[in-house]
Structure 1
């Protein structure tokens, strides 16, 4: 049974790992060379897909790289080298680019696929820590992920090298993303589910109250009528509009509380006398998250929606919450 030192300094051990991995990443920039540029151009110009391969820890990192590429505009998927040798190689054609990952550059499972890939005229980009390795020499392009040392104290577990591989993959994906002009809207289309999709795709028009659900009165309406409108529509406010349906003011629950503290006669006052002028407005085609940011920046709980000078909708914080925007 192993004996554990109760006084072991875990914090120092962790800090040493961090220092070693940072040192490895600092020297990685020297490998953003002509091969890196050519790799980006090759992938950008391909009419096929990027097929990522890797064994063991390199395979785990490869799956993440493939997922990052796919979600940022580069069609990509991961194929396990062992499965490729037993049929999955049929998923790859001559228009594809294979990104083969191995720190040693001597992965037998991947090297065994090179002759078939070469016969199919598939472009191979290898990502290894040894440019002189077989994978480094046989590939069409090589991306170096060499690090001075692993963070593992016995130099066996892939640590700094896998971090460098991940960063090289991220650098490749982000460079391609920027070159493609891949936008937040493009990103949202590949992430339609969950909070991310809602924030990037949902527009104000999707959640605003409109038509008969929209609280509004004219300036000459009695305050009591405005309060009834607020109560019926349940948004905690009402818009005040002119004869052309243009917004001229707003009245909220907060305004009512402040008004009552002044002992104003609600039966003998028009809404135009007590409304708040120049309310914050938004457009219906704005992203809901932008509307939320506007509300939070102004410390308001409701927003009027105006298109072409006309009141078309309204919403409040509860609508944002129900829609999952916040």
Structure 2
């Protein structure tokens, strides 16, 4: 239809949007009353699986299946998506008797899916179905059937998969969340499967991974002249310098902020030493601490640099907000 022939009605558009939300919310809400022993059996079946959860679905159900497989895999349940049409042309070889198939179809009669059900049955592959067709071929072949039926689609024609795919997705998410909880899957586990994400960086990055160490850490002694202190700070580019004793234990710190405050007070710094101007008892962090702990420390005390020490208080490193930003921890 030509755009010129479309009678655009802004209010009708908004009404349809709101109606869509209402229908899909009702579809998801309706699932809660139908979750019972079958759902628990499905969770137990996956927990007993020695292989992977193989998710299958055609068309829009296939798109939902890919997302469910990704959610399962990222929350502690090894999973992959296999396209039913490709399965009948060789990809069935990816599925073993150690796996569990999670088959998704609103009608339960998708031709490409039902064509491979007998083969999976002969292989002894247990199957979980997410379907609205409780009397369908898929439901009859499945060991466990999860009812994802909906009263109507959000599509005004009641044709395009809308509410039904939302219900499928919610059922898959519920399955993933239940499995996550039973497995005792924690934040650290999630981070290990998302090393490139923000959470992964926060939960896997330690201070030792981002800190400056060795000769890159500015440090001076108590009796170091103010001129040498400035030279050390400028050369290392941290915006601060540690003040240490002969055993490299941290005694204090001097920062750009300290310099600014002394200048504002009119203090004559030419004859000062590092011990005269340092801030004693500085905030420190251990190298084995998470980098986010260093971030929290710096935010709490409104500082931009922190010294890193070992269990004996010996200086082993330093870092500032720029180091943490480069590591994408903040």
User: For 1:267, what is the secondary structure of its paired residue?
Assistant: coil
Match of 1:306 in 2: 309
The structural deviation recorded for 1:208 is 0.7
Distance 2:150 2:246 in 1: 72
* Equivalent residues of 2:121, 2:141 under 8 A apart: no
Choose from 290, 307, 314 the match for 1:287: 290
Length, aligned pairs only: 326
The verdict on how the C-alpha distance between 1:250 and 1:176 changes in structure 2, with shifts beyond 3 A counting, is same
Distance 2:29 2:253 in 1: 56
For normalisation by structure 1, the TM-score amounts to 0.93
Deviations 1:139-171 (A, max 9, x none): 100111122321111111111111111111111
Distance 1:245 1:148 in 2: 73
Task: Please give the root-mean-square deviation of Cα atoms over the aligned residues, in Å.
Answer: 1.9
User: For 1:117, what is the secondary structure of its paired residue?
Assistant: helix
Match of 1:226 in 2: 229
Distance 1:225 1:42 in 2: 69
Choose from 168, 176, 183 the match for 2:171: 168
The structural deviation recorded for 1:236 is 0.3
Distance 1:148 1:304 in 2: 62
The structural deviation recorded for 1:296 is 2.8
Choose from 110, 126, 131 the match for 2:129: 126
Match of 2:67 in 1: 64
The structural deviation recorded for 1:189 is 2.9
Residue ranges of structure 1 left out of the alignment (5+ in a row): none
- 1:259 lines up with 2:262 in the alignment: yes
Choose from 315, 322, 325 the match for 2:319: 315
Distance 1:310 1:32 in 2: 58
Distance 1:31 1:241 in 2: 67
For normalisation by structure 2, the TM-score amounts to 0.92
Of 137-146 and 187-196, more deviation after overlay is shown by 187-196
The structural deviation recorded for 1:195 is 4.9
The structural deviation recorded for 1:58 is 0.1
Question: Runs ≥4 in structure 1, deviation > 4 angstroms?
Answer: 194-197
Match of 2:100 in 1: 97
Match of 2:88 in 1: 85
Distance 1:146 1:247 in 2: 67
The structural deviation recorded for 1:196 is 5.2
Residue ranges of structure 2 left out of the alignment (5+ in a row): none
Of 48-57 and 27-36, more deviation after overlay is shown by 27-36
